[in-house]
Amino acid sequence: MTLHSVVGHTELRTALARAHAADALPAALLLHGPRGVGKQRAALWVAQLTVCQAPSAEGPCNTCGPCRMALKLEHPDVHWYFPVERPKASGDRLVEALEDARAQGLASRREHAVRTSHYDELRGLYLGIVQNIRRRAHMRPTMAPGQVFIIGDAELLVPQEASPEAANALLKLLEEPPGGARFILTSGESGRLPATILSRTVPLHVAPLTPKQVTAFLEQTAGRDADTAAWAAGLSQGSIGRALGFLPDGDDLGPLESLRRRALEIVEAAIASNSGPGYAISLGFPPAGARKLIPLFAFVEEWLRDLGAVASGASDNLLNRDSLTRLTKMLDGTAIHPSGIALAIAEVDEAREFARGNVNPQLVVSGLVRALRARLLSRRPLEVA
Cα dihedral across residues 123, 126, 130, 132: positive or negative: negative
Q: Tell me which fold the domain 248-376 belongs to.
A: Zinc Finger, Delta Prime; domain 3 (1.20.272)
pTM check: above 0.95: no
pLDDT at 158: 60
CA distances from 346 to 256, 283, 303, 350, 375 (A): 22, 23, 13, 7, 10
Q: How confident is the model at residue 164 (pLDDT cuts 50, 70, 90)?
A: very low
Report the pLDDT averaged over residues 165-181.
78
The pLDDT of 109-132, averaged and rounded, is 83
Tens of pLDDT, residue by residue over 67-97, are: 999 999 999 999 999 998 888 888 789 999 9
Beta bridge partners of 151: 81, 185
Percentage of residues in the chain having pLDDT higher than 90: 63
Question: Residue ranges of the domains in the chain?
Answer: 10-205, 248-376
Q: Span 10-205: which CATH code? A: 3.40.50.300
pLDDT for residue 332: 83
Give the pLDDT of residue 384: 45
Question: Which letter, b or e, does each residue of 43-52 get, where b requires 16 or more Cβ atoms within 10 Å of its Cβ?
Answer: bbbbbbbbbb
| Alpha carbon distance 218, 228 (integer Å) | 9
CA triplet 200, 182, 122: central angle to 5 degrees?
A: 75
pLDDT higher than 50, residue 383: no
Q: What's the rounded Cα separation, in Å, for the pair 2 and 175?
A: 33
Q: What is the pLDDT of residues 239-259, one digit of tens each?
A: 999 999 999 988 899 999 999
- Tell me if 289 sits within 8 A of 302, measured CB to CB: no
Q: What is the pLDDT at residue 379?
A: 54
Instruction: Say yes or no to pLDDT of 163 above 70.
Output: no
Strand partners, 65: none
pLDDT for the residue 188? 92
**What size, in residues, is the chain?**
385
- Which pLDDT band, with edges at 50, 70 and 90, does 1 fall under? confident
> Model confidence over 47-58: pLDDT tens digits?
999 999 999 888
DSSP 67-87: HHHHHTT--TTEEEE--BPPP
Q: Mean of the per-residue pLDDT values for the chain?
A: 89
Whether the per-residue pLDDT at 385 is higher than 60: the answer is: no
Query: Taking every pair of C-alpha atoms in the chain, what is the biggest distance, in angstroms?
Result: 69
* Rounded mean pLDDT, 177-202: 90
Contact 51, 59 (CB under 8 A): no
Residues 6 or more apart whose CB falls under 8 angstroms from that of 215 comprise 226, 229, 230, 233
DSSP string across 315-372? GGG-SSTT-HHHHHHHHTT----HHHHHHHHHHHHHHHHHHHTT--HHHHHHHHHHHH
Neighbours of 341 (CB within 10 A): 20
Phi, psi (rounded to 5 degrees) for 205: -85, 135
d(CA 281, CA 266): 7
Is 238 a residue whose pLDDT tops 90?
yes
